Amino acid sequence: MPWLWKLPSRRAFVSPDRPRLPNMASAVMLARCTSVRFPAVATAVLLLLSMTTVQASQGDKEPVYRDCVKQCVGSNCTGARLRGFQSSQPQYMALTGWTCRDDCRYQCMWTTVGLYQAEGYSVPQFHGKWPFVRFLCFEDPASALASLLNGLACLLMLLRYRSRVPRQSPMYHTINAFSLVSLNAWFWSTVFHTRDTYLTEKMDYFCATAVILYSIYLCCVRTLGLKRPGVSSMVGVLLILAFTSHVSYLTFVSFDYGYNMAANTSIGMVNLLWWLCWCWQNRRTLPYWWKCGLVVVLLHGLALLELLDFPPMFWILDAHAVWHLSTVPVHFLFYSFLIDDSLYLLNTEKMGVKVE
């Protein structure tokens, strides 16, 4: 069910509908610039460009931003100044991989944001993300905290599940394995929102996909596999092949954000309909069925928060962080359902009653 608890962190698909800031010669000029004008020809070109959608971010495409980064790196990230930066850099920043170039990009991001706001334009995104105020080494502090809280909630409820459900329950090992896959995904989500790098981004995406695919397997085992183990085994093999193909395509062919999101959402919809059908069929025989149905509805309803996609409030809290924070309580309801259902399956197995 929790296929939407950990959808991959979304890279925005931004239409270039904001005017481009003009090129600047130096970082000093950037800081002092207070007036920007756009010729009619450039405006007409931008209007034509706005008719198409591209995978890019307006902020990091700005000449202002690029020139600022270029000059900052050239002035501060070589020779004695680089050694000075490294010697004064806090240890926690160095351990999390923050470099002189990264610091230049961060500072120039805010310079560009300031120019946009001074001219009355909307806040742009940079490299697929909104600008966030860095806290210690945390690049996106609210989303990192939300991911950590989801992981802690998952861990707490897994421990409660293990304490209340005997190992003899038919779903015990499948649910434990699912919980471990989920914990791994929340761990990498926390790492990714702490420090966005090539490796952490890929691990966040791939581990999220693993959760979504394993949730299909969990659903299959509960609804079909207990009576037909061969079916769940076949589905498991197919899901492993699907995961391998998915990761291979994104790694060796093209890291397509649109394809990745579409694939995960499609699998989530299959899971949604599968669980809802099972809830409807068992609404008269299982008194706790409503917990499963409510979790399904809540997860899909809360996922709509992602569609808001507003600039971060106080430069910390955006729609993605709000969405992750809102899913924390859902873990408790979901595991309450799993505990009830696992105990029910154990009791019916002891009594020799047919499993629903």
The pLDDT tens digits for 271-328 are 889 999 999 999 999 999 999 999 988 988 887 887 777 888 888 888 888 989 999 9
Q: At what angle do helices 100-118 and 79-88 cross, to 10 degrees?
A: 90
Q: What is the pLDDT of residues 85-141, one digit of tens each?
A: 888 888 888 888 888 998 899 999 889 999 888 888 888 888 888 888 888 888 889
Q: Tokens in use for 143? A: 């989303």
The pLDDT, as a whole number, for residue 311 is 81
The pLDDT, as a whole number, for residue 94 is 87
Is the distance from CB of 62 to CB of 33 less than 8 angstroms? no
Q: What is the pLDDT of residues 160-208, one digit of tens each?
A: 999 999 999 999 999 999 999 999 999 999 999 999 888 999 999 999 9
Instruction: Report whether pLDDT(348) > 80.
Output: yes
Confidence label for 145 from pLDDT (cuts 50, 70 and 90) = very high
Q: Tokens in use for 296? A: 């399904």
Mean pLDDT of the residues in the chain: 82
Query: What is the Cα–Cα distance from 305 to 21, expressed in whole angstroms?
Result: 31
Q: What percentage of residues in the chain have a pLDDT greater than 70?
A: 83
